[in-house]
Amino acid sequence: MKFWTFFLDLIYPKVCVNCGKELNDTYWCQSCLKKFWNPRMIQMSQTKDLSGCYTLCNYVEGIRKVIIQLKYNGRSDRRYVFPELLSDFPWWNRLESCSIAIPIPLAKKRFQQRGYNQTDLIFQEWLEKMGKKYISDGLVRTRNTETQSLLSKDERYENMRGVFHVNHGIKIEGKSVLLIDDVYTTGATMNVAAHELKRNGATTVVGLSLASGAS
Ligand SMILES: [Zn+2]
């Protein structure tokens, strides 16, 4: 483990991922971190299907930059900057009852283009270390819905109808599910996914996103 850490330090020397400031044992300097760090339960995120969604950061500044690099510039190496944020999330104890974690999936074609689901790279290792069963293919996405930003709230829900299915052979019934996403925007995606999990017998669905622009 020591050797591995040493090896990673050689490839990824510890400088602030956002401003390049030299650091000892972290990827985020305090001044960059405080511009986006804002762990909270997102207001209005509690619905019929979703027992609220937690988020760690505001979707601005450095965190927005690295998420965009991870999603659109193929920078899968950025995965190393997230565990220290996740370890500082203050309410893991409130998520103890969730035995399984399921990410919002990408459509197959998008997954093949990108080569990974960014949400897995952000959360999987950490959640497994926390003792969660992480089921990366628990949900299947039938199509992409990326023109969402042009739509009204009602249209977003309409556009997403039937977009998620629980994968064959995955048992959801009686489970309390932690539903994971990289960015929570309006909640439409997470609510539609939570609805599908509930329809398949999940007892509760709690959301967790890395960042959100919602208050
Ligand atoms: Zn910095």
Per-residue pLDDT of 54-88, as tens digits, reads 999 999 999 999 999 999 999 999 999 999 999 99
10: pLDDT strictly greater than 70 = no
Q: Which residue has the tokens 């900057």?
A: 81
C-alpha separations of 93 from 12, 97, 99, 204 in Å? 32, 9, 12, 16
Q: What is the mean pLDDT of residues 141-151?
A: 77
pLDDT of residue 145: 76
Who surrounds ion ligand 1 at CB < 5 A?
Answer: 16, 18-19, 21, 29, 32
Q: Does 12 fall in a domain? A: no
Least confident of 22-31, 38-47, 120-129: 22-31
130 domain residue, yes or no: yes
Cα of 66 vs centre of ligand 1, distance in Å, is 12
- 59 lies in which domain range? 37-212
Distance (Å) from CA 2 to ligand 1 centroid: 26
Q: Is residue 204 part of a domain?
A: yes
- 102 falls within a domain: yes
Question: Is 31 part of any domain?
Answer: no
Q: Is residue 92 part of a domain?
A: yes
Residue 73 burial (C-beta neighbours within 10 Å; 0-12, 13-18, 19+) = exposed
Q: What is the Å distance from ligand 1's center to 57 Cα?
A: 15
| Domain CATH for 61 | 3.40.50
- Find the 164 Cα to ligand 1 centroid distance in Å: 38
Residue 190 placed within a domain: yes
Write down the pLDDT at residue 157.
Answer: 80
Closest CA to 88 of 43, 39, 54, 133: 39
CA 194, CA 163: separation in Å to the nearest integer?
12
**Are 160 and 192 spatial neighbours (Cβ–Cβ below 8 Å)?**
yes
Distance, CA 159 to ligand 1 centroid (Å)? 39
The amino acid at 168: H
Tell me how far apart the alpha carbons of residues 159 and 37 are, in angstroms, rounded to a whole number.
32
- Measured over the CA atoms of residue 32, residue 38, residue 39 and residue 44, the dihedral's sign is negative
Distance from the CA of 53 to the center of ligand 1, in angstroms? 27
Q: Where are the beta strands (DSSP E) in the chain?
A: 37-41, 53-58, 100-103, 133-134, 139-141, 164-166, 176-184, 204-212
Determine, yes or no, domain membership for 159.
yes
Q: What is the pLDDT of residue 2?
A: 60
Report how far ligand 1's centroid is from the alpha carbon of 119 (Å): 23
Q: How many domains does the chain have?
A: 1
Helix (H, G, I), strand (E, B) or coil at 213: coil
